[in-house]
Amino acid sequence: MGKRKEHHYVPQFYLKKFSTNSDNTQIGIYNLKNKFLYYKAPIKHQAKAKLLYGDNDVIEARLGKLEDKAAGIITSIINDHDVPSIKSSEYISLIYFVLFQYTRTLGSEIRTNSQIDSLMNHTYEKLKGLKSEPEREKIPVTEIMSIAATSLPLADYLCFQLLINETKIPFITSDNPIVMYNELMEKKKALNFGAAWAFKGLQVFYPISPNYLLIWTDPFVYNCGDEILNPLIKTNDENDINQLNILQFLNCQEQLFFNLEFKKDQLNQIENKYYYKKISCQPNTFGLGSYSFVTGIEHKIGLNLSFNKLNKSGEEFRLGNRLVYFRHPSFEGIREKIR
């Protein structure tokens, strides 16, 4: 078998869950750059890039094995509501897959390099008065993916649940489908939004079909109930679905994916209100003393989901003089080792 010239950074098995035809070969797409909407796009041609993981198929093959495990788990979740318990082997395989999915996309590569560029520009201008961007080699997505291989401990201490969509509005997904948010830090007006795996207040949203979405939340600050006895959440609130779809729109690199139930007018409502917010959002750089810092590309929408509220600890949390607040004390040492 010859080498693959193009590597998929969103798995085809995953996109088939949003298919628009009976044999799962087509999907609805909207390309933001070209303003192109089409409901019969071949899935095999979506979310791929030439030699994204290098000039051989080693990484692609390893990702394929990870996808095979995740595909069975996700299918079981959708078909049987069989949500794996935290610490089970199925859960470890799933969260490992999610960690890699977050880092393996073109959007991840662009996001990371834009943060570094922003930080370098801020630092050089501050220290040397330079206005032009310092030259450097861009970090490839394969290096960014190496972070995922060591980040599994930072995904601990999270509540894991399945959200069931009982509205007529379907979930959509994108070429950058793992969305991170931090409603706690947004409400507390933190300087650093803190949407990262180790941070206090983290929320992770991952749609796995038009009717189902996986959620990870910080149980220390959000009221997620007893996720062991009741890992299922149901919502018939269209505002919940609209907000989660808006986050997919803002988080995508260039392309949205959906089934036939997602209508053009629903897309237009999101784009008309949030397109400028998407294109104008850039990494935020700032200085504290002699140090320079950069935040991620933070798409804040005033998130207010009916099923996810701050608990007493979250309401009483107050910002101090720290830039980073970890979800668990053990993370500080782990993060330093990774760094």
Degrees, nearest 5: CA angle 284-288-293:
35
Q: Give DSSP secondary structure letters for 228-269.
A: TT--EEEE--HHHHHHHHHHHHHH-SSEEEE-TTS-HHHHHH
168: which 2 tokens? 């007529």
How far is residue 241's CA from residue 285's CA, in Å, rounded to a whole number? 32
Neighbours of 201 (CB within 10 A): 26
Task: Enumerate residues 6+ apart whose C-beta is below 8 A from 337.
Answer: 150
How far is residue 21's CA from residue 92's CA, in Å, rounded to a whole number? 32
28: which 2 tokens? 């609805």
Task: Enumerate residues 6+ apart whose C-beta is below 8 A from 60.
Answer: 4, 7, 8, 53
How far is C-alpha 33 from the geometric centre of its chain's CA atoms? Answer: 20
Q: Give DSSP secondary structure letters for 66-91.
A: HHHHHHHHHHHHHHH--PPPTTSHHH
Distance in Å from the first CA to the final CA of the chain: 38
- Digit-by-digit pLDDT tens for the chain (339 residues) are 456 678 999 999 999 999 999 999 999 999 999 999 999 999 999 999 998 998 888 898 899 999 999 999 999 999 999 999 998 999 999 999 999 999 999 888 877 777 777 667 766 666 665 555 556 788 889 998 888 888 889 999 999 999 999 999 999 999 999 999 999 999 999 877 778 899 999 999 999 999 999 999 999 999 987 766 789 999 999 999 999 999 999 999 999 999 999 999 999 999 999 988 888 776 666 666 656 666 667 789 999 999 999 999 999 999 998 888 999 998 887 766 655
